[in-house]
Every structure is written in C-alpha cells, then in structure tokens.
Structure 1
Amino acid sequence: MKRFAAVTLAALMLLTVFASAASAADTLEIRGPVFNGSNIDDIVGDGITIDATQFAAFYYDIDDNVTTETLSIKNVAGNNGNVIGEGGIVYSTKIQKVDYEYDKPSLGWDNYSLLGFFAEKYIPLKSNSADKLAKLVMDSDDKVTLKTGDTLDLGEGYSLQARQVDVDGDKVWLEFDKDGEHVDDEIVNVGEGDSTWDVELDDIQDEDDVTVMKVHVNQVFQGAVDSVAQIEGIWLIDYANAIKIESDDEFGELNDVSINGDTLNITNEDTFTLTRDSTNELAEGLSFKVADTPSNVLRFYLAKDITEPGSYEIRGSVASGPATWDASNFAGFYYDLDDNVQTENLSVSKLNGNVIGEGGLVYQTSVKKVDYEYNKPSLGWDQYPVIGFFAEEYIPLKSNSADKLAKLIMDSDDKVTLKTGDTLDLGDGYSLQARQVDVDGDKVWLEFDKDGEHVDDEIVNVGEGDSTWDVELDDIQDEDDVTVMKVHVNQVFQGAVDSVAQIEGIWLIDYANAIKIESDDEFGELNDVSIQGNTLKISNEDTFTLTRDSDQDIAEGMSFKIADTPSSELRYYPFVTKTVGNVTDNNTSSSIPKPVDNVTDNVTNVTTTPDTTDDVNASDDTDETPTTTTPETNKSDDENKENSPGFGVVLGLVGLVGVVYLVRRNN
C-alpha cells in the first residue's frame, strides 16, 4: 500500500513539473468564423468554405487583393452528429502573383509567384507548380546602408556582407552567406544596368536556376567617414529548407494529396470527430476548437496557434465601403466559445470616398455574463460579468455598469500544488503564497501580494464551507467590496516531504490599474463617449480619413490598414497587434498573419566589422572567407523565469527524492 502511494505521489509530482513547464509557453490563437447548429449536417448544409477574408491566419495581400488558401467542409455521406465523413474536409491552395514590396517593373521587380501553405507564406520553385516550395524569408523595400565589412542579418541564418565599396567606380562587392558559409558573391555596378543582383542556385530540390535572392543596390556614396552602399529592395527564400510535396504525404488528419499544376488539394481519408470541449488538431498548426455544449448543440471554429516569438497583426474582414465588424468577422475582438458570448462591434458609415463623416466611425461594447473556467455553481463559481474593450478582456467593477473596468488577468481551473513557503506568480506583479499548510486541521494560510507587498491573507478551511477565498477590497476607483480575486482550495494532503495544498480555481483582475471612463474622455480618433448602463459607445466628432497605402490609428491599439489602390477604389480592414513571447530584434517569424517586425527588425540588424580590405578593383580574391560577427540573442535569467510559477519543478524534484526514499525504506 505504501509502495502504491509512493508511485501515485510520483505521478502527481511529475504532472506538477510538466504543468509548470507548459505554463511558461506563450501562445496566440487566431480564429476563424464560428459555426453553430444542432449537428454537422445542420451547419454544413450544401457546404461551407473558409478563406482569407474570414480567417485572418490565411495569407492575404491587401494591395493586390490576393488570397490563395481555402478550407471547406463538404456535404458528404459520412457526416453525422459531430463527425465529418471521409473526404468531407478539403484544404486547397493555388499559386497567385503578387507585387514585390520594391515595386519597380522596369528594373525587373514586377511580381512573383506565391502560395499560402497551411497559413505560411511559401514560394514555388517553379512558378506554375505547387509541389516544390520554400518559405519566404524577406520581401522588403526598406533602405539600408552598408559600408565595407558590414554584415546584414537577413534571418534564418542568411546574411549579406558588403565586402568592398568603390565610390569612384560606382561598385559594391556583395557576398551572400548561409550560417556563416559563403554561398555566392557579385560585384554590382550601380552605374550600369538595373543594379540588381539575382542570386540563382542549382540543385534546389532537383531544380536548377532557382532565384533564391534578389538585391537592388540603389547607389554608392561617400559618407562622413566611409564609402557606403545603399540597398533598397531585398527578396529572399529559405532555399536550404525547401520541401517537396508528394501524393503519398500526410499532413496531420489530412492525408489524401492531389497536385494539379499550380493547385494543391488535401483531404481526409478517414472520418474526423469534432470532440466537444477540446481542440481537435487538423494539420500543420491548424485545428478545430469545439465548445463545451450539450449533445444537441455543436459549435466550433477553425484556429491557428502561434508560439513563435514576434508581433503579429490580427485582422478583421476586408471592406470596400461601409461595414460592420464584430467577433464573428474580426478575430481581435473578445469572444467566449463555450458561452457563445461577444460584446464588441465597430462600424463605418457616412463614407464619402475615403473620408468617414462625423459620427460615422462607431465603437460599441456591452457587459455580458460568462462561466468561470472552474465552473462550480454550487460553490459560488457560476458566472461573472465581462466586457471586451478595444480587443482586450475587462471586468466591470459593477456588474451592470460599463464605466469602471479592470483587465482580467487569470481565469483558470488548472490544479496547482503549493507547500509552505511556495509562491505562485499570477502575472502583472500579483502573487499567491502558501504561508503555512496544516494537514491535521485541513487548513492552509494563504497570502495575496502585489509587487511583493502584502494585500490580504486568509486561513482557508478545506473541511468546512466551499473552501473558496473571495478577496474583496475597498476604494477601487471609489468602489467598495470589489471582488478582485477568487481562489478555491481543493484539498490539503501530506506529500513525500511536506504538507501540500492543492488549488483548483483562480480568478484575478488587475485592480491596481483599474480605469474609469467618463463622457469627456478621448480614445485616439474616437472622442464622443456615451455610457448607458452596461453599454459603452464611442464615436468620432471629427472626420476620419482612410489614407491609402497606410495604417491609420483608431484608438487603444486598434487601427485600419488601407490598401494602395487608385482613388476610384477603396479597400481596408481593422486590425490589432498582439505579441508572442519575449520579442528581441533578432526574433522573426514567417507565420501568417505577417509578423509586424518580420522585415524591419531584420534589415536594420547590421553588424559592423573593421575595414581591412582595399578598393574593389584592387582584388580578385572572390573566395576569401569573410569575417562575420553577427551577435547572438540571449535571454537574461529574469526573462527565462518570467512566465514560470517558480515552484513546480522544485516541488516535483523534492517529491521524487521523497518517493525514492520511501520505496527503498519499504524494500
């Protein structure tokens, strides 16, 4: 019996270790439209198709109005209840042409072939065939200056070095490297031709003459100290990791591959079950997220989870005139799948050309009720009020009023174990500490802190009542008895070494930064505020111009992106920017939606090395190995610990040591 208890405790400790490690991950979910009905036949009807105008993860080029990807659910014989039949899911993508960012058709920079592939940007090695692909690393028209010895980090291990710059001869000697190894080099004569270096390589997935990089040198000139080359226009693919797609390949649950020239279709050979209250992985980072509903209701959406650090643009559906967005067509807005709750909408009316008239840009949001993640109505964990506020989740301090709000920090039903002295980091400076654990008395003494300072404490008796500690504070934006945190203690028990308390259910708001919204407040371009009980409405008192080929701030991190179109056309969408992980200058990503820092941070990462070379014309040694000193990006210890509770791994190791001791003693 003791050996069984030891093994059980070991499993618990290992789960704690793994849960702690997982909690450090930072993930951004991009969702598609929500489908809601009694069963799959009711939802699908004659068939449904999701494209880039509905799903912000799929590739979309607003300037060229180009999409390539769709995901369809077909009406097939095997559809039944929450099961999609064989061949009922079809992912399709087709090669399209898009303009280079450096758009100079007269210089050979007109357009290139592109294929969205499971929400990533890929370039076909042959412009009319979808079977051989390489990720797009860079497409930039930013101006970059390099002097002799400078190295430009292009991302993914690729770099460009200015070996020598010759102002008198209007020349620059460039070298292209991969992982510090020479790939190719060229002397570009700015005074002749189009000043573009097309790097073509052979044997890329058995293809020859593949253009893997294009570089346009704008000019060379004499700087204050050095001769400098100015680059304007870089395009690069990850040829070293090019892939070949074949008919017998499998992509998650999609395993029937068909390649027809420029089009790729992949379907499911087996049935696919939309399991309720779960995330059902489909293929290559795509999944269906299904609500926790009764068997007579089915609700789900397509999602892509992004974990690679970076800043990402989450967009709404594309408009060409007056439009309205809510959570169903703008993935940035707050949405609760289980309760089917949304609160926000944005509308554009009074549109004359590209100018929105006074009062024509309206943002509105209302307080709604949603279930706690730890949903135990009998224990006081039933529902709480929530309000989306400019694409962030807020909690009203008064359940029927939208004027005083605090951000929601945590709503979790994860199980967490704490022993005496352990501190659980809750985020944003808040923490929960187990001061003492009394197994004999079924009690745990908990302390709630903010920025290391005591806020409140309580002895929770697990043997009596609902074992929930409601932390209520006064004078939060002049409101008293505000519930700022709820903690449910599931049990206390004797671990291998220490007495341990198990918490299941934590809910927390950022009361220290609560805000009060008043009628004379201004939010960017929205400055006419109206508060009617649980509804907040804000509109523009002045005209708002949708300037073409630009991003126009609306308010509080929300903006419009407007296409570069003729004056007779208008195309735009709303978006917000979300950040994943600890972003540094070297962190880049090719995930779709396009990371905001994908190009700019790369092209400005220039490493300068001492100038030890002579004039371009003075050397023919093109095999010389360059000196490259691209700096590495290292996270500090504090950054590595930022998202970790801090106690799980230690507790797990201590528990395992205790288990070994118990087993050996019993033997």
Structure 2
Amino acid sequence: MEPFQLEEWGSFWTVDLQGERLFAAYAEVGHLWESSIDTDLTKSGRLSRVLIDEVEDRVFTSGMPLELEEGYELAIQSIDLDGNKVFVQLMRGGAVVDSAVVEPSREGADLDDRTYTYSVDLGGAEEDVVIIAVHFKNSFRGADRDLATVDGIWQISDTPIEIGEGEVRVPQWRNFERDDWGHFYTLESDGEDYFAAYADDGCLYDVSKEPDLVNHNLLSRIIYDDGQERTFTSGTSLELEEGYELAIESIDLDGNKVYVELLKDGRVVDAEIINAGVLGAAAEEKTYTYTRDMGEAEDVVTIAVHFERSFRGADQDLATIDGIWQISETPISV
C-alpha cells in the first residue's frame, strides 16, 4: 500500500509485474475509493498502468486545456462571476466525454469540492472505477480569460491488463474487534488470513513506524483479535502468546494510572503508564502497545491491550481490559 502523491486522496495498492508498477486497487477510507463503485481490479483478474501521480502546480486557462495521457484533456468552459465555481469538460480526441463543476475557491471548500473525478467501466467487469482525478488549488475569472491552478493529478490507463483471476491478490479490509483501534488488512496464504498492514485510521497505525508488512514482502499470523472483558490483578499477569505476559506493577492513588510491564519468558522487555481510569481518555491513552522490528519492517505494533478501567485496592490492584491484539513476531515471507 502506498499513499497518493496528494495524500488527502488516501492510498492505493500496486503490484510489481515483470518489473513494472501496476495499479491494483484503491485502499479503503480514501476519496478515490469512495468515488468508485468497484475498487479492486484484481477481483476480475485485471491491473492498470499508473500514468500520472503528481502534486506539481499547473496553471491552465480557458484557451489552453490541461493535457493528460491517452488523449484526454481537461478544459475550462467557464468560471462564475465570483471566481469560485469552475465548469470543466473532459475531452478525448476532441469529443466531450464528461463535464462537472468544481468549487476550489469557495469559502469552506472541502476535498470533494476541489476534486474532479472521472470514472469508467474497465473491461466490462469493474463498474465506475476512477481513472482520472484532478485537485484544484484555486480559480480566477479574468477580463480576457479564466484560469485555474491544479496541484494534484492522478490517472490510470483505461485499458487494463489481463492477468487471470486469482493470480494476483490485494489485502482485504478488516475491522478490529476493538472498534476504536480502526482497521487492518489481511491477505490469504494457504487458506489462512494473515495480517498484512494497519489501515491509516487508528492508533495502531499511528504507533507503528512501518505499518505495512506487504511493502517488505512479509505477513504475520494473527494470534489475538479479542474484544472480551478480562480482569487481572497485581498478583496475576495477563498471559499472551509466544512467551509474553503483561503485569500490573502499580496503580496510582487515584486509581487512574496503571504502570505495567511486559515480560517475555520471565524477562522485562517493556514498561509503560496507561491512563486506564481517566474519564474521557482517548483510545491511544488507554491502550498499551508494544512494537518491534519484523524483518526489515521497523517498529511494528505486535501487541495491543485496551484498558477499560482500573482499581487500587488495599491488598491488590486490578484492571479490566476489553481488547487484545497480538500478531506473531515471526513473520512469513511472501
């Protein structure tokens, strides 16, 4: 998975085929994913060449269209009197194939207002896949001519490459059992779903330096994805897999902050303070995370534990957790 040059558009998946980087699918929670009906070309055995992915400023006018690839060009037909709304037409071979109004200079304009997208059916299998996206920075209505500045262009070929169904797969979007951790991607190998990457909408992505194992041709077995409530005490550790256990060392006098240590095979490998009992604390404040290098992927979250509440007692301290995530620290190569 890699981000668009214009990062606000989200991310996309590519496949390396005979040394060429080819578009495979739009990643979830991104503007171009939301603008497409079908988002994954590999489901029907197709890929597409990436023609343009840039963030360079370009100015074009009502007399000089914005030139794209494969015979497409985007032309300004008119700009309203306030200079906010731009009526554009997409042409191919001199014929108009699409038209739209974008509003780059309107006060409060969002990404949708500023982005022109063009979708087509690719190969008769995928419906309404975005093949062209242009992000408008601003617009201006002049006395002699109108002009607009764009600062992001994306284009893939409208002639897909046939690869055969099942020959190439892209990771699939999944929900954590703990909803406020966001999402992650899995990839099937030998009939089992393996962890592939963290989606960029949650704290486990934010904590990981390199959240995508696929970029390093790695996958990892999912050991825990559990939203069940469990209580453990200062005298009884929370047992995890692969020799790990999480122990409560102390809880502050208010019963809000928990000092925990992570042990592997009886040896302390990490320690952290968690705001387990703080009212209104964000998910990342109530989540213990442990990261480690996996192959060439640096600082990937392999363990996450979400604390629901904590209690300081006279004889022992205790905490209730309601989310555990663990992936194997020994990845497989793909």
Structure 1 and Structure 2 fold alike (TM over 0.5): no
Answer 1 or 2: higher relative contact order, Cα 8 Å, separation at least 6: 1
TM-score normalised to structure 2 length: 0.41
Q: Which has the greater radius of gyration?
A: 1
TM-score normalised to structure 1 length: 0.22
